[in-house]
Chains A and B, each alone.
Chain A
Amino acid sequence: MRGKVAEITLGPVLFNWNPDRWRDFYFRIADEAPVATVYLGEVICSKRGPFFEPLLETVAERLTAAGKTVVFSTLAQVMLKHDRRMVESVCASGESLVEVNDGSALLYMRGRPHHVGPYINVYNERTVAFLARGGARNFCLPVEIPAAVLGALCANTDSLGVTFEVQVFGRVPLALSARCYHARAHSRTKDSCQFVCENDPDGLELRTLDDGPFLAINGIQTLSHDYLNLISELSELEAMGISRFRLAPHTCDMVAIASIFRAVLDRHIDAREAAVRLDAMQVGAPFSNGFYYGKAGGSWTEAAID
């Protein structure tokens, strides 16, 4: 693992959680979860911003006091005036760390140290090198990148002094749109949504016409129905040079999830034992890991554990 300290990180809450739940969730993470870095902020819809913004400072302070590094995530898709203002204000705070998720945030953060989020298309060494010259220090890579490419990307950027992060748990972000599909499901429009997305704290499940579980809707975002689980691939990822492992927050017990992943990194339990424990958590959907193996993302491949 080339001298990099392996960390568990907690990605931003992607869903429209009730503000009390949102605050309590982070307080518990601060107190109990073995995660080193916590990403905070609204990534999906600028309309949700006002609900969380009053709590942001308190939550960030609590996490920082607990020894966590707090990074503020920016919106993934920016087009409206509200969106633009939101990104500008996140990027304007000179002292805090920012993870950029679209081109406008790249413009604002150019020349200052920052993280690059999974919504920026970083697939190759030349893109990494370019962004690193502009201040990028950590890259959370797009979820669809297969193992072979992850390995090549790490190997070909070894001299740049950047760190790589990949999502290893939770529903996988698959697409963004201008249209709000939550509103559409409720026969409303994005402007008249009445925040119906708050009914689905893990996303609104879409099934196929033959009743197979398929996708999950989160406002303008479409995610997988199943939950990514790369617990059995952790050591391989570490060996490639990936040092940060991101958990995507869900309503299941994220402290327990984080503890299982941490225990594997610490070699306290092996991947097989960890996999059994994760299965026992019954997160509400099957696990998948297809993207890692270069197969259909929603598929599952049994890892070859030695």
Chain B
Amino acid sequence: MNDDAGYIRPELVCPAGTPAGLRAAIDAGADAVYCGFQNATNARNFPGLNFTPAELEQAIGYAHARGAKVLLAVNTFPSAGKFDLWREAVDYGARMGVDAVIVADIGVADYAARAYPNLRLHLSVQAGASSPEGIRFYCQEFGVKRVVLPRILTVSEIADIHRQIPCEIEAFIFGNIGMMAEGRCSLTNYVTGVSTNMDGVCSPAADVHYVEDADRNLTTRLGAVVIDRVACGEFAGYPTICKGRYVCGVKSGGYYAFEEPVSLNLSALLPDLMRAGVTALKIEGRQRSRAYVKSVVSAFRTAVDGVLAGRDPGLADLLALTEGHRQTEGAFRSKAWR
């Protein structure tokens, strides 16, 4: 639907890590929520998170009664011999009537497309489709209806892609920003033996260590590897390899070789994204608290409605929710980020 300012009303796609989080997101104004099962079939396979099949079924009822959609993330890569778990996840989703399944693996996409020709498929960011041709491959082969774009493109590049693909675009607007191309990173596995692609975990909590010395300087480690070290009172981010500080021969002292511990916040770019042809705006954070989800979703609901009504989005409050209270527009604003 087009309004006078030329905007198409975007779908606000929000994280649902738990049934309570799902209700919070929907009550706060989410148009759609995304969630996963309690196993390796989704990319947020954390203890205490996600849904049992029974919980998902109830959640779908809650969402549909309120006009919201449920998108099921089955977006990791089954390893040989373990395909049944992913098949089962797709089967549950299809039978329960989820509004779409978010897939990344070619085998899973192939299964879902053949077994359930009417099931709507979204291509996960984990599939790493970053060019029109790459996206068209998945549209052509599996009838993918929407692609979740990697967080590496500028707004004008997104607009350009939009003109060259036959499916909808979903873009991240807020939350944790990984520095590496999603679905193409084995750094966690290199250090911990747990694979992000196969097991659905990045920087597993069991391998995270915070060590304080006598002067109260804090060292953060993942497994045996020092990720960062901060002086007493400074903010220490969760130890993620791509946001750590390292030393190399061409720089003096430690530096953030990949990215600083910042969060993505595209609130200022909302109007541009909406004009670029983005169908759905995605908020990251299935691992976050209900309170966090509620405030972020409400803020973006107000902002999106504001843009549609021709008002200033005004999202200053969101800074308090970003990592280390520091935010970035990442790749979206300009090529200089690269």
A residues apposed to B, CB below 8 Å: 76-79, 83-84, 87-88, 102-104, 106-108, 110, 119, 121-131, 142-145, 149-150, 152-153, 156, 172, 174-181, 183-186, 189-191, 204-212, 214-215, 217, 222, 224, 290-291, 294-299
- Give chain A nearest CB distance to B175 CB in angstroms: 18
- Give chain B nearest CB distance to A90 CB in angstroms: 13
A104, A186, A191, A209: which has the most chain B beta carbons within 10 Å? A209
**8 closest A-B pairs (Cβ-Cβ)?**
A126-B107, A103-B134, A178-B152, A104-B133, A152-B81, A153-B80, A297-B190, A127-B107
Answer whether A102 and B134 are a contact pair too, CB < 8 Å, given A179-B179, A186-B250. yes
Residue from A129, A177, A211 in contact with B258 in the complex, judged by beta carbons closer than 8 Å: A177
Residue from A78, A222, A296 in contact with B192 in the complex, judged by beta carbons closer than 8 Å: A296
Residue from B128, B150, B195, B242 in contact with A144 in the complex, judged by beta carbons closer than 8 Å: B195
Q: Is the CB of B131 within 8 A of A84?
A: yes
**A84 contacts across to B, CB distance below 8 A:** 131-133
Chain B residue at minimal CB-CB distance from A294: B193
Q: Is the CB of A211 within 8 A of B247?
A: yes
Q: Is the CB of B110 within 8 A of A130?
A: yes
We find that the number of chain B residues with CB closer than 8 angstroms to chain A is 74
A222 to B258, CA, bound (A): 10
Q: Is the CB of A185 within 8 A of B248?
A: yes
**B193 contacts across to A, CB distance below 8 A:** 290, 294-297, 299
Answer whether A126 and B131 are a contact pair too, CB < 8 Å, given A144-B186, A206-B246. no
* Contact sample, A vs B, 12 pairs, CB 8 Å cutoff: A77-B130, A84-B132, A102-B134, A103-B133, A124-B79, A144-B197, A179-B179, A204-B250, A206-B248, A208-B246, A217-B248, A222-B180
**A106 contacts across to B, CB distance below 8 A:** 134, 137
Give 1 or 0 for each of B99-141: 1 = CB within 8 Å of chain A CB. Answer: 0000011111011000000000000000111111111111011
The stretch among B54-62, B221-229, B275-283, B285-293 that forms the contact with chain A is: B221-229
**B80 contacts across to A, CB distance below 8 A:** 123-125, 149-150, 152-153, 156
Answer whether A104 and B131 are a contact pair too, CB < 8 Å, given A79-B152, A186-B250. yes
Q: Is the CB of B336 within 8 A of A174?
A: no
- Give chain A nearest CB distance to B54 CB in angstroms: 28
Q: Is the CB of A174 within 8 A of B190?
A: yes
A88, A144, A191: which has the most chain B beta carbons within 10 Å? A144
